[in-house]
Amino acid sequence: MVRQNLNSTAVQKKLEAELQARDEFFSAIAHELRNPLNALHLTVAGLLRAHGGAMPLSSEQVVARLTRASTQVSRLAKLVDEMLDVSRISAGRLILQLDDFDASTVLAEVVERAKDPANASLISLSRPPSLLIRCDRTRFAQIASNLLSNAIVYGLQRPIEVRLDSDPSTIRLEVVDHGIGIAEADQERIFERFVKLAKDDANVRFGIGLWITRAVVRALKGDIHVASQPDRGSTFVVKLPKLDPAGTPVPSE
């Protein structure tokens, strides 16, 4: 009876902790949604005022403001996509669309979109000229984008290396940063849902992106792991099996 009570108490505490983490996560998401919404509202309102004012904006000023608005729309779209993925993965409804494509080209596009024009040399890319694979093109790009975004956020503006290679049966994607790093005790927790490692640090966000990334990698029958040391940076490695036309992993030679 005592053991049963202890088990019940442990389950109750775990459930309460999960509910609190979920509530904190949705509160953080609401806050992150509000920021780009406010910025978008201010940009559009400013354009409308300028259009009807005595001092119309130049073409360059209009383009600059529209570019800022487009950036905020992209942020909103990414947040909404993440929320939808949380729902799909939690319900076991993550659907893959397998296709044949050049992973090297797709990765180059992801890296190019992530580059900051003010410091375009921050990210280096090593890849074969062409790497034809069968995979979900959108999800492959999502994996690369999530890992690269993570490296940019926590990389302390230091160089980031992105590498892509393969062997007869495996595709390997590697993203390396030289930023804040991750303590060994936290290297598994970062892939959990609704986890924020430094709750008092406003610059450390909930790691839902890594949870989604691991779920997608596993759905693709792959593996993801991280090697890291505090203040020495992190290396995220994704291994995906090469698939035949039927979607079955190609056996190792």
Q: Which amino acid is at 23?
A: D
Residue 63's pLDDT is: 82
Residue 207's pLDDT is: 60
Residue 198's pLDDT is: 52
Residue 116's pLDDT is: 76
Residue 129's pLDDT is: 95
Rounded to whole angstroms, what are the CA distances from 28 to 32, 34, 112? 6, 10, 28
Domain range summary for the chain, segments of one domain joined by +: 2-90, 98-241
DSSP code for 226? E
Residue 25's pLDDT is: 65
- Token output for 157: 């503006």
DSSP secondary structure of 139-172: HHHHHHHHHHHHHHHHSTT--EEEEEEE-SSEEE
* Fold exhibited by the domain 2-90: Helix Hairpins (1.10.287)
pTM for the predicted model, two decimal places: 0.76
Contact indicator for 252, 168 with CB cutoff of 8 Å: yes
Residue 89's pLDDT is: 82
* pLDDT by 10-residue block (mean), the chain, 253 residues: 65 74 67 74 80 74 81 77 79 89 96 78 91 95 94 91 95 95 87 63 59 93 94 95 78 65
Residue 22's pLDDT is: 66
- Token output for 172: 């390997």
Q: Which amino acid is at 37?
A: L
Residue pLDDT, tens place only, 97-140: 999 999 999 999 999 988 877 666 689 999 999 999 999 999 99
Contact indicator for 85, 91 with CB cutoff of 8 Å: no
> Does domain 98-241 fall into CATH 3.30.70.270?
no
Residue 78's pLDDT is: 77
| Whole-number Å distance between alpha carbons of 44 and 39 | 9
Residue pLDDT, tens place only, 132-162: 999 999 999 999 999 999 999 889 889 999 9
